[in-house]
Amino acid sequence: MNKKIAVVGAGAIGSSVSADLTKAGLDVTVIDQWPAQVEKLKADGIIIRMPDGEVVTPIRALHLCELSSARLEFDIVLLAIKSNDHRWLTEFIKPYLKADGVLVPVQNGFNDDSIASIIGRNRVIGCALELSAEIFTPGEVKRNTTHQTTWFGVGELDGFYTPRLKEIESILGHVGRVEATGNIYSTKWTKLVANTMTMGPFGLLGMGNKDAAALPGMFEMSIAMGKESLAVGTALGYRMEPIFGLRADEMVGPGEEILIKAMNTLLSHITRGRTAPIHDHMKGRTSEMEFIPGAVSKRGRELGIPTPFNDAIVEIDRMINRGELAMSADNFKLLQEKVGLKPQA
C-alpha cells in the first residue's frame, strides 16, 4: 500500500494508532497542536507501553503550523482528537485531503454528520472504537487495551461495503480487531450508550475504572444511564449492535440484559485505566462530556424524552470545567442526590 495517511492528533489514541501503523510500514504523518509532544516525536519517536508488551518506533510528526509548507496531500485522514475539536480540525485538514480521499473520525462521540457537513458525506467513513490509553509525558503512552482487546467498528455512512472500507479495515487491523458494519450509526450509538454508562459517572470521580465500578450503587446508576441513552437511540431509529467483538446472538434479549452485557464487556477491557474525561480534568482541559452524555441530553430534549441521569452528569461536569467543583469521589454522592437516589453505604 502506497497511500499517504495523516493522523490528526498525537494524544493517547492518535499516538497508539500511529505507532502501530508506522511499525507496519505504512506512510504515516502525525499532526498535532501539542508542541512538546511533536518535538519529542521528532527527536525520539514514541513508546507505547501495553499490558502485554510495548511498541517503540520513530514517528514522522509535524506541528500544525508546519503542514502548510510541507507540500503534502493525504489519501486517508484518521481524525484522532477530542470531540470538542472535531469541527475546526476538520476544516484545518480539509485542504490537504485529496479529492477522492477519505476521513475516518477515530474518536468517541457522534460527530460523523457534523464532519460530513464540512468535507462531504462521500469523504467520510464512520468509526466506533474501544482503545483505552493515557498520556501525560511527551513521547510516552500507557495503553490499557492490548491489540486483542482493542476494537474498531467501521462503516460507510450509506451502509454499503466498498473497496475503500475494506482498505480501512486492513489499515486499522494493525491496531486491533476490526469489524465492518452496514449500520454504522447504530454501532456508534451503541458505543455511545456504553460510554454514558461508564465514562459518564466515572469521569466525575478521578478514580480508576475498576474502583469506580465497584462503588455501592454505581451499577444501578450505570444501568439507569444506559436505559435513557437506549430510549433516545430507539426513538432515533437506532438499534443495539454487536460491539467490542460480541456476537450478534449475544446482543439479543431484553434491553436491560443487553445493557449489562455491553457494560460488563467494556469494563473487562478497561479495568486498568481511568476514563478519558478524568485525563482532561487532570490536565486542566474541558472534557468532551458535552458530546457523550451531552449528546443524549440534547437529542432527548429535541424528542421530548426525559434524560435526568445524563443531564446530571453534564451539569456536574460543567461545574468541574468551570472550577466550581473539584474532581472527587464525593461527586458520586452529589450525582445520586441530583437524580433522587439514596446513597448506599
Q: Are residues 203 and 166 in the same domain?
A: no
We report the CATH number of the domain holding residue 169 as: 3.40.50.720
In a domain, 72, yes or no: yes
Is-contact 61 32, C-beta < 8 A?
yes
In a domain, 16, yes or no: yes
Pick the last residue of a domain from 182, 198, 229: 182
In a domain, 297, yes or no: yes
Pick the last residue of a domain from 157, 182, 207: 182
Listed in order, strand segments (DSSP E) in 3-112 are: 4-8, 27-32, 46-50, 53-57, 61-63, 74-79, 97-105
- The residue among 180, 204, 290, 193 whose CA lies nearest residue 232 is 193
Number of structural domains the chain divides into: 2
In a domain, 44, yes or no: yes
Q: Are residues 26 and 144 in the same domain?
A: yes
Pick the last residue of a domain from 133, 162, 182: 182
- How many angstroms separate the CA atoms of 177 and 157, rounded? 20
In a domain, 135, yes or no: yes
Q: What is the pTM of this model?
A: 0.93
- The residue among 124, 172, 184 whose CA lies nearest residue 28 is 172
pLDDT in tens, 316-342: 999 999 999 999 999 999 999 999 987
pLDDT in tens, the chain (345 residues): 689 999 999 999 999 999 999 999 999 999 999 999 999 999 999 999 999 899 999 999 999 999 999 999 999 999 999 999 999 999 999 999 999 999 999 999 999 999 999 999 999 999 999 999 999 999 999 999 999 999 999 999 999 999 999 999 999 999 999 999 999 999 999 889 989 988 999 999 999 888 998 899 998 898 899 889 989 999 999 987 766 665 555 554 556 777 777 777 766 666 667 889 999 999 999 999 999 999 999 999 999 999 999 999 999 999 999 999 999 999 999 999 999 987 776
Q: Are residues 123 and 243 in the same domain?
A: no
In a domain, 343, yes or no: no
Is-contact 293 196, C-beta < 8 A?
yes
Q: Which amino acid, residue 202? A: F
Domain with 191, as residue range(s), is 187-338
Q: Are residues 105 and 237 in the same domain?
A: no
Provide the pLDDT for residue 243. Answer: 67
User: DSSP code of 331?
Assistant: H
Q: Are residues 250 and 311 in the same domain?
A: yes
We report the CATH number of the domain holding residue 248 as: 1.10.1040.10
Listed in order, strand segments (DSSP E) in 17-65 are: 27-32, 46-50, 53-57, 61-63
In a domain, 345, yes or no: no
Q: Are residues 228 and 290 in the same domain?
A: yes
In a domain, 14, yes or no: yes
Q: Are residues 194 and 173 in the same domain?
A: no
- How many angstroms separate the CA atoms of 80 and 103, rounded? 11
- How many angstroms separate the CA atoms of 272 and 148, rounded? 15
Which residues 6+ apart lie within 8 Å of 53 measured at CB?
none
